């Protein structure tokens, strides 16, 4: 008979603990690296504040107050949050400053000077993206810019497009939203008629404005969908591409629901309610509806992808 020696608790735990990755040490190292880089970044942050604080003040007291550009601060805040979330990944490699940052910085400063002096909002806001990208290139290199590509791409949605282009694209969108609203409410039994983008329901007339069904609203909802995709990080290319494409009809459906909501509010509660507080509340309805539709479509794509994998198996 041979005796079997059973390993004690410490001996059993040793292999398991040795196989665990040193995640706390890695995170502590990244935090230490982040703290170590802060002294080098204070002059840069001070320069950015001196350069762009007047622009931020002008935006928060001007363009970002109106409905057409009201998505600007939300896009900017989410982009900064995404960049802060991704910043530790830029510290994994040593800094390799790129000379490409300097010509890009010169271009961004020239764009800012032109936009600020000539009151061209597209240039002034676009210069923020160019200057920030140039600083990342000049301080950390191409690898850091690759890591932060999505926050910079996401900022493009806050840049206003030329008014002529917006007007040319917005009119067909408003016509389509007005047509869908008319037919849906007429099918539901409401006394509604349409002339172009003017809806007549009962004794009230409603004009479908650019903010209710315009290109900027579509771009804002597209940005919301891309932000959702970036957070979820689905491994399936089918889900990512499918949802990115379907965000366009989702945005159209959300706009139709918003216009229907405003039309019914005006019909039941009067014109003052439709143009007052509830008009702003309908904007929240738009984004909540779009978010619910995005989640529903994403769940449907997940179910379909699961069926495809099951069929293949």
Catalytic residues: 212, 258
CB count, 10 Å around CB of 180? 18
| 53 CB-side CA count, 13 A | 6
- The answer for residues whose C-beta is within 8 angstroms of residue 244's C-beta and 6 or more apart is 225, 226, 229
N-terminal to C-terminal alpha carbon distance within the chain: 50
Distance CA 210, CA 171 (A): 8
Counts for the chain of helices (H) and strands (E), in that order: 13, 3
30 torsion bin: left (phi>0), alpha (psi -120 to 50), beta (else): alpha
User: What stretch of H or E contains 235?
Assistant: none
* Run of H or E including 4: none
Contacts of 151 (CB under 8 A, 6+ apart): 79, 80, 82, 83, 86
Q: CA of 118: how far to CAs of 127, 128, 131, 288, in Å?
A: 14, 16, 19, 37
Phi, psi dihedrals of residue 123, rounded to the nearest 5°: -70, -40
* Three-state secondary structure call for residue 204: strand
Element housing 233 (H / E): none
């Amino acid at each position: 008979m041979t005796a079997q020696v059973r390993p004690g608790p410490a001996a059993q735990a040793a292999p398991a603990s040795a196989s665990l990755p040193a995640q706390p040490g890695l995170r502590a190292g990244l935090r230490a690296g982040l703290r170590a880089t802060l002294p080098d970044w204070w002059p840069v942050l001070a320069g950015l504040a001196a350069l762009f604080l007047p622009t931020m003040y002008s935006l928060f007291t001007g363009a970002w107050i109106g409905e057409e550009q009201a998505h600007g601060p939300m896009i900017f805040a989410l982009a900064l949050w995404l960049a802060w979330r991704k910043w530790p990944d830029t510290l994994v490699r040593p800094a390799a400053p790129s000379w490409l940052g300097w010509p890009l910085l010169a271009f961004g400063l020239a764009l800012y000077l032109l936009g600020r002096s000539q009151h061209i909002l597209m240039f002034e806001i676009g210069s923020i993206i160019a200057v920030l990208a140039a600083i990342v290139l000049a301080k950390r290199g191409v690898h850091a810019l690759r890591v932060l590509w999505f926050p910079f791409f996401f900022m493009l949605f806050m840049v206003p497009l030329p008014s002529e282009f917006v007007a040319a694209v917005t009119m067909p969108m408003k016509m389509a939203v007005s047509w869908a609203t008319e037919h849906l409410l007429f099918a539901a039994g409401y006394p509604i008629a349409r002339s172009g983008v003017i809806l007549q329901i009962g004794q009230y007339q409603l004009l479908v404005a650019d903010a209710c069904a315009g290109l900027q609203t579509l771009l804002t909802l597209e940005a919301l969908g891309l932000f959702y995709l970036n957070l979820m990080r689905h491994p399936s290319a089918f889900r990512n591409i499918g949802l990115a494409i379907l965000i366009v009809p989702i945005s159209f459906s959300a706009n139709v629901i918003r216009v229907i909501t405003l039309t019914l509010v005006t019909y039941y509660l009067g014109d003052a309610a439709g143009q007052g507080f509830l008009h702003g509340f309908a904007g929240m309805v738009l984004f909540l509806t779009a978010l619910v539709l995005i989640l529903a479509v994403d769940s449907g794509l997940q179910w379909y992808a699961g069926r495809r994998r099951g069929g293949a198996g």
